[in-house]
Amino acid sequence: MLPRHFRRCRALQVGFAVEVESRAVEAQPSRSHIPSTRFAARPAASRSKSLREAAIRATLGHRTAFAGFVAEERDRESPSGENGRAATQEPELEPRAERLVSALAEHFSNDGVSIADWRRVAAKAVASTSRDRFLRLKPEVAVAHVDGIAEHFASDGLTKRQYLQVALKRPALLHLKPETVIGNVSGVVQRFAKDGLTTQTYLRAAFRQPGMFTQDPQTIITNIEGLARHFESDGLTLHDCLDSALKQPTLFIQKPETLASNIEAVVQHFARDGLTAREYLRAAVKQPSLFYQKPQTLIDHINILAAMHEKKLLPIPPGKNALMEFIVKHPVLISLAGNNLHLREIAAHLGDDPTAPMFKTREYVEDIIRHALRHGDGTSEKVSHARRLLLNALKHEGYLKER
């Protein structure tokens, strides 16, 4: 779904037939003369493929530049403000909510939370199904809850400032008694203490996944134990699951059936290519996001790598088994965003070593492409203009980040 601030989206169909050496430079076409079509005329996958192919042709300095790529035109004009950005206004609150906000802001004024932060929390709560509960909350009760929890876990590294930041994301914590939150945390820690879990490491994970403070401890215990039990015959241990969850805390609160289904769907899809559950689980322990990412997303990413493998853009020998071994060894690659992988495919055509961009940072890869598009071969003004359009198109499509 397109962002709401797009008033109208349409695609620009740009066609250039440039004979760099034999044709005289013609006048640069104005933007108004570029024929346009409806945005939905071409699927996103087709548009992205055209952009990638155009980028490769452009950066390699081909004579015929960028035939038929489509770029998204973004209209950011809006009556609400310059550049389409609506003026930021603090929400108006009813008197009861305003009194609560003022009291909380005053008490926690030295703990890094502004009154504007509290107003945003209050506005969201009042607009939700928890409105009545929030409005019944007394300031002194919320203060006692926050202070009590921060004091209890102070020796484990929890500060009041840190807990307040969590409470802003999960306002339900303001209502929970300290003994409830303490019990939720200690229940999980006690169960997995023999596996190396400490209160401090669990709290660090909970900062990133606030639901861990409110979740019943038995539910979290069941999630971790259930995942380990499901894949026990494939070599996955309880320690593996716990370690993966500490790296990606969302695993603590997801059902084991969902995570198991995600793993099995990818394994089944590539079973004929040599991928086994045991090997893929090894990859998932290295890159825990593989447990919860959508199977189709990961399948698509593996297919991108397979296409690059066929073009000899990966540092591995031919054969599907070699590709699967490569993925198990470097699982972070399939967890990248699709456009991140496509950028590496484009950049692979630009240097002496086509395999080098696979292991560079995205920023480094983007700089390679920017440099090639701005300073590549081609003396024609038309070629230069087309490269500029393509550079902007890659930015608009989200391939290149604004810097």
Q: Give residue 199's pLDDT band: very low, low, confident or very high (50, 70, 90).
A: very high
Q: Write down the pLDDT at residue 72.
A: 36
**Which tops the pLDDT comparison, 72 or 192?**
192
Residue range 311-324: mean pLDDT, rounded = 91
Is 305 part of a structural domain of the chain? yes
Are residues 196 and 172 part of one domain?
A: yes
Are residues 21 and 35 part of one domain?
A: yes
Residue 379 · residue 63 · CB < 8 Å: no
Phi, psi of 36 (to 5 degrees): -115, 160
Is 12 part of a structural domain of the chain? yes
Are residues 15 and 114 part of one domain?
A: no
Are residues 254 and 209 part of one domain?
A: no
Does residue 131 surpass a pLDDT of 90? no
Is 206 part of a structural domain of the chain? yes
Are residues 226 and 308 part of one domain?
A: yes
Q: Write down the pLDDT at residue 95.
A: 85
Residue 337 · residue 294 · CB < 8 Å: no
Are residues 223 and 205 part of one domain?
A: no
Is 357 part of a structural domain of the chain? no
Q: Write down the pLDDT at residue 17.
A: 31
Mean pLDDT of all residues belonging to the chain:
79
Are residues 306 and 228 part of one domain?
A: yes
Helix, coil or strand: residue 175:
coil
Helix, coil or strand: residue 313:
coil
Q: Measuring CA to CA, which residue among 145, 217, 153, 221 is closest to residue 183?
A: 217
Are residues 289 and 246 part of one domain?
A: yes
**Which tops the pLDDT comparison, 49 or 192?**
192
Are residues 56 and 12 part of one domain?
A: yes
CATH number of the domain that residue 236 is part of? 1.25.70.10
Is 67 part of a structural domain of the chain? yes
Are residues 119 and 58 part of one domain?
A: no
Decide the pairing of beta strands 69-73 and 10-14. antiparallel
Does residue 22 surpass a pLDDT of 90? no
Is 118 part of a structural domain of the chain? yes
Domain that holds residue 241: 216-335
- Residue 180 belongs to what H/E stretch? helix 178-192
Are residues 221 and 196 part of one domain?
A: no
Does residue 94 surpass a pLDDT of 60? yes
Does residue 282 surpass a pLDDT of 90? yes
Is 359 part of a structural domain of the chain? no
Does residue 125 surpass a pLDDT of 70? yes
Alpha helices in 193-294 (DSSP H): 199-208, 211-214, 217-230, 238-247, 250-253, 256-269, 277-286, 289-292
Q: Percent of the chain, pLDDT > 90?
A: 51
Query: Domain tally for the chain?
Result: 3
Is 115 part of a structural domain of the chain? yes
Q: Write down the pLDDT at residue 378.
A: 52
Q: Measuring CA to CA, which residue among 206, 205, 204, 241 is closest to residue 221?
A: 241
- How many residues does this entry show for the chain? 403
In degrees, rounded to 5, the angle at the alpha carbon of residue 356 between the alpha carbons of residues 277 and 273 is 25
Among 194, 213, 232, the domain boundary falls at: 213
Among 213, 245, 270, the domain boundary falls at: 213
Are residues 306 and 257 part of one domain?
A: yes
- pLDDT single digits (tens) 28-77: 443 333 333 333 344 555 556 666 666 655 555 543 333 333 333 333 33
Among 164, 188, 213, the domain boundary falls at: 213
